Structure 1
Amino acid sequence: MSGREQDPAPLLSRRGRLVLIGACVVAVLIAVAYVTAQASAPGGPPVAQGQVRLGPDPGEPVADYLARLPASLPTPGTRVSALVQLSAEITTAQAATLAPSAVEAVFRVPIPRVQTALRFQLLTGGGEPALTVAQAQALHAAEADAQRQTGRPAAVAAAEAAAYRGPSCACIVALVVQADRAGLDALAATPGVRAVQAAPAGITARELALSPLLPDQATAATPPPDDGPLPS
C-alpha cells in the first residue's frame, strides 16, 4: 500500500459516527416535536415537565388516586408545594379567595364533550391581580393556538380564547400552593376542593409536572370525549 492510500477502516468508522450522530439528532428533533405537540393538545400530557408528577396516572381509577393522597401529606410543621384540584372550574376571584398565596394556576375552559387545553401559568405576586394576569396569558396562548392550528383544533382554541376574554370566566381547574400540613388539611376540607396532593419537601412549583384530576373525570383519569359541538 503506497503512502497516499488510506486504510478504509478509519474512513468507514468516521462515516459510521456521522450516520450515528445524524440519527441521534433526528431522534431528538422528533422527540421535541412530539412533546411540543402533546403539551398543547387538549387532554394531552402536562405542559410543565418537572421532577415530581402530581395528579392521577393516565387511566388510573379515580377512587384509587384519591385513596393514596393522604399518604402524600407532610408531617406537621413541614411546608411543601401541593396541587389543589377542584370539583368544578372557578373564576380568578374565587381562586383568590380560596388560595390567596397560590404560586401557579391551571386553566381549562369547560365545554361539554369537548377536549380543551390545560394551560399552566406561574403566578407573579399573589391574589386576584396575579390571577388576572395569568388568565390574560392563557388567553394569548389560546389565540396563538387558534392561529397556528387548523380545522377543529383551531376552532376549539378560538372558543377557549373567547371564554378567557370574559372577566367572570370559570376556567381555573387547579392551583399550586405552598403550605404546611394544617393549611393543606384546611384546603382539603373546603367546599369545592376535590383533592389535595402534596409534593415532597423541597420541591418548588417549577419542578412539578402537573396533570390534575378534571371535574368530569368521575371514574378514571382518561381523556374526556371530544364529540360535542363548539359554542357559536
Structure 2
Amino acid sequence: MRERVRQAGIAGAAVAFVVLIVVLGWAVPPHPAVVSTDRLGPESGERIDDYLARARDSLSGADAGERWALVSFGGGVAVDRVPEQAAGLRISQVIYHVPLDRVYTPAITVPVPAGDAAALASLRAAAGAMDNALPAGERADRTAAVVAARLHAGCDCAVGMVVRGRLDRLRDLASHTGIRAVEALPPDAAAGAFAVTPLLPEQVDAATPEPDDGPVPAP
C-alpha cells in the first residue's frame, strides 16, 4: 500500500505542472506552438450525430499501426475506473469536466505518463490546477473554486481520454459499455502535434458552448 501511495505521489507530481498550462489557458489562451491540421473531437457547432458517424468512420482500415484516439465516455466516470475504461491501451491524457447547471466550466486535460498510477493521480492534479487558476474575474474565480472543490471531493467527472492503440483494439474499445465514441487520427499523426476538443456527455444535439447565465453554486 505504501509503495502504491508513493507511486501515485510521483505520478501526481509529474502531471501537476503540465496541467497548469491547460487551466491557465482558460483565462489567457496561449498561441499555438505547433501548426497542425490534425485534431480530435467535434468541430465547433458540429451536429453530434455527424461527429459520431465521423468517429466510427475513422476506425475503418486494416493497417496494424498504432494511432492516437479520443475516447469519449457516455457520462462522468470516477477516476478509479479510468484504467479499466482504457482496456489495456496506453493512456496519454485524461479529460475532466465538472458540469454546473447553466454555468460554463472548462474541460481540464491532464497529460499523463504511462501506468495506472499516473491515470489515478490525474484527478488530484486537475483539482490542484483549478486551485491555482489565474484570476479571471469574479464569476470565473467563483466557478473555478466550485470546480476545484468537486474535483477534490472525487466527483465522477472524467469524461474522456486520449489513448494509443491499433485499429482493431480501438474498434473493440468502441463497443464497450459506457463508451460513447472513439475517434482515431491517421497513423502518421505525431504525439503532441494535434488538438483535442472533448465531446462532453451534456452535448447531445450539437457541439456548442454551454449557457453561462445561471447562478454559480456554493463550493
Aligned-residue offset at 1:173: 1.1
Q: Please state if 1:72 is matched with 2:49.
A: no
1:107–1:179 CA distance, 2 compared to 1 (3 A): same
Q: Which runs of 5+ in 1 are unaligned?
A: 1-35
Calculate the TM-score normalised by the size of structure 1: 0.74
- Indicate the residue corresponding to 1:151 in structure 2: 138
User: Is this contact kept in 1: 2:23–2:129, CA < 8 A?
Assistant: no
Q: Tell me the residue number matched to 1:106.
A: 95
Give the gaps of 5 or more residues in structure 2: 1-21
Rg comparison, structure with higher value? 1
User: Does 2:201 match 1:215?
Assistant: yes
Among candidates 178, 193, 208, match of residue 164 of structure 2: 178
Q: Report the counterpart of residue 120 of structure 1 in structure 2.
A: 109
Task: State how far apart, in whole Å, the 2-side matches of 1:111 and 1:55 are.
Answer: 21
Distance apart, 1:228 and its partner CA: 2.9
The residue type equivalent to 1:138 in the other structure is A
Cα distance, 1:91–1:150 mapped onto 2, change above 3 Å: same
TM-score between the two structures when normalised by the length of structure 2: 0.78
Amino acid paired to 1:85: S
* Aligned residue number for residue 89 of structure 1: 76
Q: Give me the whole-angstrom Cα distance separating, in 2, the residues matched to 1:142 and 1:37.
A: 7
Say whether residues 1:198 and 2:184 are aligned partners: yes
Q: Which amino acid aligns with 1:188?
A: A
**Which runs of structure 1 show a deviation greater than 6 angstroms over 4 or more consecutive aligned residues?**
47-50
Per-residue deviation at 1:37? 9.6
Secondary structure of the residue aligned to 2:46 is: coil
Corresponding residue SS for 2:119: helix
Q: 1:84 to 1:50 in 2, by over 3 A?
A: farther
Change (3 A) 1:49 1:116: farther
**Structure 1 106/203 Cα, relative in aligned 2: closer, same or farther at 3 Å?**
same
Structure 2 residue 46 is matched with structure 1 residue 57: no
Higher helix proportion: 1
2: CA distance, partners of 1:171 / 1:223: 18
Q: Deviations over 1:77-134 (max 9, x none)?
A: 221010001111211111111114311111111222221111111111221x212322
Output the CA distance in 1 between the equivalents of 2:161 and 2:119: 10
Q: Relative to structure 2, which stretch is displaced further, 170-179 or 72-81?
A: 72-81
Distance 1:130 1:48 in 2: 25
Counterpart amino acid of residue 209 in structure 1: A
Deviation at 1:225, TM superposition (A): 1.4
**Identical-pair percentage:** 34
Tell me, what secondary structure is at the counterpart of 2:91? coil
Distance across 2 between alignment mates of 1:50 and 1:137: 27
